[in-house]
Amino acid sequence: MLQSSLMELKVSDHPSNSAEMRGKPDTTGKKHTAAVIKDSSRPSSPETIAYEGASSLSVQSHLASEMFRDLVKGNPLDISAPDINMEYSQLDKALNRNDPQSLLYDKSFPETKTKEKSENIVMPPLTDIVLLLKWTKGPTKPTLLSFLPLVSISELDSLCKKAYFEMEECTTSDLININACLLFLLPEYCISQSKDDSVTAKCRLNSLVCQRNLELALSRLNLFMNLSLDNTKALILASMYAIGAHSLGMAWTLISTAARLCQSLGYHRLAVRKNTSSSDENAKMALFRYVYILDQTLSLRLGRPSSLRECDLATDSLPNMPTSGLQVSEFISSLWIEAAQLHAWTFERLYSPKAMELSQNARTEAMKNLAFLTLAAKSRNSKLEGQFCESGTSQHQYLGFVQHANDVVFLSLLTLIYRSIPSETSDTFSPFNQQCLEAAQAALAAHHSCYLNYMNKHKYIWTIYLQWTVLACPIIPFLVMFCHAVTTLSLETMEDLEKFVTSLQPVDQTYIAGYKAHALCQRFYEAGKSYIETQLQRKREASMADTCRDLGASIFTDIIPEFWHAPDGANYAPSNYGFNTPERQQMQFRQDLMSEEDAWFFGDPTILGLADDVYHNFDNRSV
């Protein structure tokens, strides 16, 4: 039973060590306090399996692996095949979340030793940071300031002066803001100076220094921090760092705290005033929207209700003005807000525990409504770009990228929405309905278009895309098409997946997230291709055997018609040759899969993920 198999996938998280101890295996035997330790002496109950430590990416990867394993085990010949057995072993090893080298290993919330708390923050060399700040003031506006205008260049300049000349005056939020901004700016600066190897080496070293400083500052955060705009900014930047590092548990803790600060400060009740445009009030509203976006998006990725509920908001989440009047940042945030809302609604209406208790008809109706809203949002996304360009507002160098990236997000989300309902027809071996397959194919096609447009022309933009777009709905279309390919033995589909795997190759191996995503998909692709090629070869051999047998049978029946009748008059029944053919195995597998519909709804707490996205291994920088 697929659902029963999921119960065996429960693993507990390892506590992270200090910055110097990354990558070393845990020998303490201690478990994270948020993890549930499996007790084999008593049966599992809803209370003991509520939070098992499996995010949506981890669960969906394991489900795809389970499908593949069931197909392989359905035929003893597959188990004994060296190529298939080796590929599946590699895939199974890649999904071992307890191994720090695993593709799905999670770095939990940073901890620090008592000795480290008394150490001073060591900033990168001043001369390197001066050059970086000069670059930010040049003709090309850094991407960070375009997508996340929370800290201006002048503010960052002042903060850096404070850190280098008045370190004792820096608060924890100051240190987080400084090091997070530097950590986001350094990779883009490095790519812009790609021809200079010395600059690249310095950028990598300085990134490590800033990362250590940021994690040390995060470990010093006070649960009861003061209510301030700066503290809220620090929490947003830290949450973005955690998402990029694929530590979603840390990101959730940080953004939930930011949401609490916003509510305490009243940012969620700021009414939109048409006649006033206070810069301070606009900054607060913009900051709240970023908190809202991260809160709603993480809700689906972690399978938890959002902290900010619609009934408690007096501020319009979307800018309440005509598209032609929007500024660039407002236009981009309006697109992200709409996508974030759809993420939260998808969890609430399809994958939350309450939604899982609904009848099949109610779930189908919810699926149709969400699909309609997602398609409408995608349509508005395309129209908004045209209206914005026609409005006479100054062009934005990344506007086209935002529109294309949003298309991938909407189509990936649509795939997950359609996936909540299994196939209604029995005339196909695929476990997914046609709408789900079409959405997944469209998402992969849109992704490939982004790859062609941005991979070589805008390498840093492409890196951001890989970390924030492809992983926003964790590779859902790829996993859907992988399962479809291995159940239908489609080499054509595997060719499309090969293009996707190739596109995930990171621009720079210092981007561990991109490397891990590519390696994970590569494991699935290699295992699936080996299996399909073996099955197709056996089908060809079986077809040749059938042809020879039919030819021999026709000779016997033509020459000796009485051959098929036994002496006692009973009819002779030929052997059921080919009873265990791949087609029959796939049909039986599909019937077994559809009998476990809950396994594909991803709605109960064991499914939609309940702990951290677990790609990241900070010491694996030499890979």
Q: What is the DSSP string of 212-235?
A: HHHHHHHHT--TT----HHHHHHH
Distance CA(133)–CA(211), nearest Å, equals: 18
What is the DSSP annotation of 479-497? HHHHHHHHHHT-HHHHHHH
Taking the C-alpha atoms of residue 436 and residue 476, their distance in angstroms, rounded to an integer, is 11
- Furthest-apart CA atoms within the chain: distance in Å: 107
Cα-atom radius of gyration of the chain, to the nearest Å?
27
Cβ–Cβ < 8 Å for 613, 607: no
Contact 533, 491 (CB under 8 A): yes
Q: Is 340 contained in some domain?
A: no
Residue 439 Rama label (left phi>0; alpha psi -120 to 50; beta): alpha
Does 254 map to a domain?
Answer: no
Cβ-proximal residues to 325 (8 Å cutoff; 6+ apart), any chain: 391
Tokens of 536: 């197709």
The 3-state DSSP class for residue 10 equals coil
DSSP-assigned letter for residue 422: B
Q: Is residue 311 part of a domain?
A: no
Say if 143 falls within a structural domain. Answer: no
Euclidean distance between CA atoms 95 and 372, whole angstroms? 35
Domain span including residue 26: 2-108+528-622
- Chain centroid, CA 402 distance in Å: 18
- Could you tell me which of 500, 467, 502 has the C-alpha nearest to residue 481? 500
* One-letter amino acid for residue 348 of the chain: E
110-118 long-range Cβ contacts below 8 angstroms, 24+ apart: 110/16, 110/19, 110/215, 110/216, 110/218, 110/219, 110/250, 111/15, 111/16, 111/17, 111/18, 111/219, 112/18, 112/215, 112/216, 112/219, 112/220, 113/18, 116/18, 116/19, 116/216, 116/219, 117/219, 117/220
Query: For residue 441, which phi and psi values (nearest 5 degrees)?
Result: -65, -40
In three-state secondary structure terms, 398 is coil
- Which distant-in-sequence residues (6+ apart) come within 8 Å of 65 by Cβ? 91, 92, 95, 524
SS3 of residue 124 by DSSP: coil
Entry pTM: 0.71
Task: Quote the pLDDT of residue 597.
Answer: 41
Q: What is the pLDDT of residue 61?
A: 73
Q: How far apart are CA 460 and CA 190, in angstroms?
A: 9
487, 66 contact by CB (below 8 A)? no
Q: Counting Cβ atoms within 10 Å, is residue 371 exposed (0-12), middle (13-18) or buried (19+)?
A: middle
What is the DSSP code (8-state) at residue 127?
A: H
Structure tokens that stand for 365 in this block: 């109706």
What is the mean pLDDT, run by run of 10 residues, along the chain of 623 residues?
A: 36 34 37 32 33 55 74 65 70 68 58 48 91 85 71 88 89 91 87 77 90 88 83 91 80 91 82 56 83 89 84 59 56 80 91 88 93 90 65 57 88 92 70 90 92 82 79 79 90 91 75 72 89 84 66 49 45 42 49 41 34 36 38
Taking the C-alpha atoms of residue 292 and residue 255, their distance in angstroms, rounded to an integer, is 9
Reading phi first (left if > 0) and then psi (alpha if -120 to 50, else beta), residue 33 is in alpha
Single out the residue of 286, 166, 170 nearest to residue 232, CA to CA.
286
Query: Does residue 475 contact residue 517 with C-beta atoms inside 8 Å?
Result: yes
Report how many domains make up the chain: 1
Residue 42 lies in a domain: yes
What is the distance between the alpha carbons of residues 216 and 20, in angstroms, rounded to a whole number? 11
Residue 284 lies in a domain: no
Determine the Cα–Cα distance for residues 419 and 371; give it in Å rounded to an integer.
11
Residue 596 lies in a domain: yes
